[in-house]
Amino acid sequence: MSKKVAVAMSGGVDSSLTAALLLEKNFEVFGVTMLLDSDEKNISDAKKVCEHLGINHYVADFRKIFRDKVENYFVEEYLRGRTPNPCVRCNREIKFGALFDFANDLGADFLATGHYARIIFEDGRFKLKRAVDAKKDQSYVLYNLTPEKLSKIILPLGEYSKVETRTLAEKLNLPVADKPDSQEICFVPNDDYKNFIATREPNAQALQAGEIVDSSGKILGSHNGVANYTIGQRKGLGIAAPQPLYVTKLDVANKKIVVGTNDKLFSKTLTAHDVHWIYKPSLPKTLQAKIRYGSKFSECTVAEEENFLRVEFAEPQRAITPGQSIVFYDGEEVLGGAIIGRSNFRHNVRRYFVESSVSNPNYSGE
């Protein structure tokens, strides 16, 4: 009997080609599209592709769980003066959480997606590895997967470049072969996250006007809400200075934004919580890490202290941002990751994490 594979179909070229490639390998394939908002365009495109391929198509209404687990988390993090990565959260809670279970209930042996990453069985275990196309590699956002789920997930595009994906889609006459890639946060209209947050929580303290100050507390200007800024930001500050100034700290409690020169953005250390290991190495250990999706790999030493990690980089990192994920690699393999808490951590650790667990309802110490 052929194995049954559920393909997460977004209506884009990557997931559509994923379904087509698996059909060529004689899997029994069906498509599943997640309904996350009121936009029916992607569902319609996915349905057309499934009709073209001659496979069944299902729609999973995940609007409520997506709002609860991803959208609310996104808003809450910004209101705390942090910058979240919603794709990391979505992959953990929705695509490889709710959708994984949905596919299993439909009798699927595997769940396949169009992510650019590789799953390889090696040395007696399943490993998550970087994609062949380094520019398109999406392994960073998949660090919350477990070994068990890796054994039941298929990522066919990890061996291809984006150019090859487009070419194959055209050869197979897929209806979405020339559909542009989405460059925006899928649930934020017009990519205007500031308006999205203000609509959800218009009276939040993080959206109230306040002062822009330097590290000594000198007032340099005013802002329209801490949540509208992020670490490392230069544009939109509206202040005159003899040299460029950047956001170095967001102080929600006092409604202040601290700015400084570029050199103030560099740090060699950070702490991270909400730690997840696919394969936990013996710590402390020297690994490579990325502190955001688009950053370069940097060598670091990772040590474990109670319920968080302390990370020290070989070279200073620019604009380490609380709320983003730090993902650890051993060569091409993704070992795990965590959520960045602070850089240049000089505060009482126990006090900080007790406050975090109380103020952030999404933090469970996992």
Closest CA to 247 of 214, 291, 205, 293: 214
Q: What is the pTM of this model?
A: 0.90
CATH number (3.20.20.60, 3.30.565.10, 2.40.30.10, 2.60.40.10) of 265-359 reads 2.40.30.10
87 belongs to the catalytic site: no
Cβ contact 136:167 at 8 Å: no
pLDDT of residue 186 exceeding 80: yes
246-251 and 57-61 as β-strands: parallel, antiparallel, unpaired? unpaired
Topology, domain 206-260: SH3 type barrels. (2.30.30)
- CATH topology for 4-189? Rossmann fold (3.40.50)
Residue 349 has pLDDT above 70, yes or no: no
Exactly one of 50, 87, 90, 300 is catalytic; name it. Answer: 90
Q: Partners of 330 in the beta sheet?
A: 333
Counting residues of the chain whose pLDDT is more than 70, the rounded percentage is 93
- Residue 35 has what DSSP assignment? E
Q: What's the CA gap between 157 and 15, in Å, rounded?
A: 9
Residue 359 has pLDDT above 50, yes or no: no
Average pLDDT, integer, range 23-47: 92
Contact of 330 with 265, CB cutoff 8 Å: no
Each domain of the chain, given as residue ranges in start order, spans 4-189, 206-260, 265-359
Q: Which is it for strands 28-35 and 57-61: parallel, antiparallel or unpaired?
A: parallel
Active site residue 50: no
Is the separation of the CB atoms in 140 and 83 below 8 Å? no
List pLDDT tens digits, range 94-134.
999 999 999 999 999 999 999 999 999 999 999 999 999 99
Q: In this predicted structure, what is the pLDDT of residue 37? A: 82
